[in-house]
Amino acid sequence: MIKNRSNNHCEICGSDKNLDIYFIKNEINFGANLCAECMEAVTNFNIENPAKYECLEIAMWSEIPAVKVLSYQILNTLKNEAFAKDLLDILYIEDELKDLANLPTNDITKTFDSNGSILKQGDSVTLIKDLEVKGAGFTAKRGTLVKNIMLTNNPEQVEGKINGTRIVLLSKFLKKV
């Protein structure tokens, strides 16, 4: 139904590539069709190209509540950009919808490794100390390489796979490679 509604285009930026449905707060009836880049923007607040989102000038007036919520969310993530601030100033969004947006906890949610280097989605890191993986029953040794990490809402934590198990890693115990 969402696919039909969107006519197989990203409902934020209009792209027709790498589409997938994103459900806000996992609500099956409250989703939007998004391209990979917009998906990344709403799930990880990771926006490589802020200028791309000047297109929100249109999407933010959508009559589809989910699209409105996501537009608001992306604008908030980008609120240090002049265009985003201007759009937020004129955007009308109901409080109930506002509450559904998944907003970054800090103004600038950056994740740093043990050396103070910024970690990005998809980076590779090594562990700087042994890590006991409770529940999975193994210890990941210092120096273990973890490829393709995922950022989380919490700048102190990233997710990565070790021995095929996806686990939460503390960014302060990681070193970017």
Helices (H) and strands (E) in the chain, counts: 6, 12
Closest approach of Cβ 13 to Zn ion, in Å?
A: 3
As a whole number of angstroms, the distance between CA 132 and CA 130 comes to 7
70 binds Zn ion (CB under 5 A): no
CB closer to Zn ion out of 5 and 142: 5
CB 125 within 8 A of CB 144: no
Q: Pick the stretch among 2-10, 71-79, 98-106, 133-141 that binds Zn ion (CB under 5 A).
A: 2-10
For Zn ion (CB under 5 A), the number of binding residues is 6
CB closer to Zn ion out of 38 and 151: 38
Closest approach of Cβ 31 to Zn ion, in Å?
A: 14
CB 54 within 8 A of CB 47: no
Per-residue binder mask for Zn ion (CB under 5 A), 4-43, x = binder: ------x-xx-x-------------------x--x-----
Question: Which helix (H) or strand (E) is 160 found in, with range?
Answer: strand 157-162
As a whole number of angstroms, the distance between CA 128 and CA 137 comes to 20
Would you tell me which residues interact with Zn ion (CB under 5 A)? 10, 12-13, 15, 35, 38
